[in-house]
Amino acid sequence: MRAEGADDLEPNKLGPAGSGTVNLSIAIPDAKRVSLGRLEFSEIPGSIPCSVSNLPDPSRVQPLVSPSIFSRLRKVPPMPNPLAITQVDAFTDRPFAGNPAAVCVLPRPVDPSWMQSVANEMNLAETAFLVAEPDGGYGLRWFTPLVEVDLCGHATLASAHVLWESGLLPRSSVARFSTRSGLLTATLGEGGWISLDFPSLGTTTDGVPPVDAVALALGLASASGVVEARMSRFDLLVEVESAQLVRASRPDFGLLALIEVRGVIVTARADAEAMGADFVSRFFAPRTGVAEDPVTGSAHCVLGPYWGEKLGQTTLVGAQLSDRGGVVRVGLVGDRVHLGGQAVTVLRGELVGRAGAL
């Protein structure tokens, strides 16, 4: 590293605008970061210094740094320690039901390996990490205990709930999330119902594994109970003859993990026990570290269009028959799926010491 003119830059003794200039040049061949007094520069490949913390009035700093450099400086907030984390039960109106997700709002982007470690520690189906963006939206990433995933419904629902409940976002505002699956939004409605705007995911028969093997992996008595099997972008969907077969499924998770998909959805038309639902389902994802997901919002991006076509409906209700159980309202709007659910905060905690120090 080579810094020229650094000794002449005294952030606490800056003169008035126009009183002189300091020629500051910085070469950072391999370094990640270099601090000059209270000026902190971070390397971005192909760029010049891009961040600064604890600066005095920018109008007094600009004469000391060329405008092209100054325009690429921004405030870098410190990482709080302890760091707050919230656990929310999603797609339910009562605690200890639905699908639990942890939500952590970060003041700046962090190393994904740290996020993965936190998700592993939380040991929930998903842990969501949020970072505020200049346009008022939030960057959103989801991690299971083992991997980062491309789409997650319940942790998005939980994230929106936390933003509104904490006051970080007005309840009248739409929550906007930049994700691996593009822009997703959430809107708070009457009775605490949250509506998610997600992509519609179609299905195909291409790449479907042998039905006998699928039936065996799901713990079904025979393949005769399988109506059809179809592949979606992320998951394998298996329709069976009855809701009772969905309830009775006892998967062999070792065999399910051999199927090269994110997860396996088993589904059927609802029966009288699934009060008010149009279809029922369960979701198994051992390849991502989740044996059975309690309520899977993203699976309804597949289930909604699938059952909508079969039943001739554009509004449906899905009941997920896990031990915790949950309900997802589904609305089909062109190439989008609107997923409706409620959420309940059950725990607020802190990542302390080295766990929250980044």
Report, as residue numbers or ranges, the catalytic residues.
126
CA-to-CA distance for 213 and 5, rounded, in angstroms? 70
The SS3 assignment for 64 reads: helix
Task: Judge residue 94's burial from the number of C-beta atoms within 10 Å of its C-beta, 0-12 exposed, 13-18 middle, 19 or more buried.
Answer: exposed
Q: Of 18, 7, 5, 13, give the one whose Cα is nearest residue 59.
A: 18
- Which residues lie closer than 8 Å to 289 by C-beta, 6 or more apart? 144, 145, 146, 147
**Which residue's structure tokens are 């950072």?**
28
Task: Report the relative pairing of strands 326-333 and 2-4 from DSSP bridges.
Answer: unpaired
Q: What are residue 99's DSSP bridge partners?
A: 90
Query: What Rg, from alpha-carbon coordinates, does the chain have?
Result: 25
8 A C-beta contact, residue 53 and residue 38: yes
Helix spans in the chain (H): 58-61, 67-70, 112-122, 154-166, 211-218, 243-248, 253-256, 300-311
User: How do the residues of the chain divide into helix, strand and coil, expressed in percent and rounded to 5?
Assistant: 25, 35, 40
